Amino acid sequence: MSINKGDKLPDVTLIKPTADGPEKVQSAEYFAGKKVALFSVPGAFTPTCSAKHLPGFVEKADDLKAKGIEEIACTAVNDPFVMKAWNDRDGSEAITMLADGNGDFAQALGLTMDGSGFGLGQRGQRWSMVIDDNTITELNVEDPGAFEKSSAEYMLGQL
């Protein structure tokens, strides 16, 4: 069952890439007491994710922060080393990467997809959400293959 607007985030371990190496963070603690724009991509370095999704949040970071977003984060079912390399290449310091290497977060949210047809295995769906102190205040889940309502531009219209 998929998570809904108004629900609390599940508490799972994510991995944040840092200059000192991977750092485990608990989602309930990490998202507590702040307003976060979180978006999920099926995979780092994949075409739509690298050409549109991540760059859109990089480009609109200042606009999102001007509307009350305190942090912008990206999650994917990838390891923290891949997430760091992707952010180094296509992202910016304005984006926090949160690796969900085993897919525990995607599964707890009920937002998984089967990418086996593309050699990706089980992944997280493409979505975005606004989280305010661990509560989902906006949730934008894409239809398979679509990129319309999980963009930074769409989120700006919601804030």
Question: Phi and psi for 106 in degrees, rounded to 5?
Answer: -60, -40
Rounded Cα–Cα distance for residues 31 and 92 (Å): 20
- As to burial, measured by CB atoms within 10 angstroms (0-12 exposed, 13-18 middle, 19+ buried), residue 52 is middle
Sign of the Cα pseudo-torsion (127, 24, 65, 62, in order) = negative
* Among 125, 128, 126, 134, CA closest to 156: 128
> How far from 96 is each of 7, 61, 70, 76, 143, CA to CA, in Å?
22, 11, 11, 12, 25
Query: Is 49 among the residues known to form the active site?
Result: yes
Of 49, 76, 136, 155, the catalytic one is: 49
What residues are labeled active site? Answer: 49
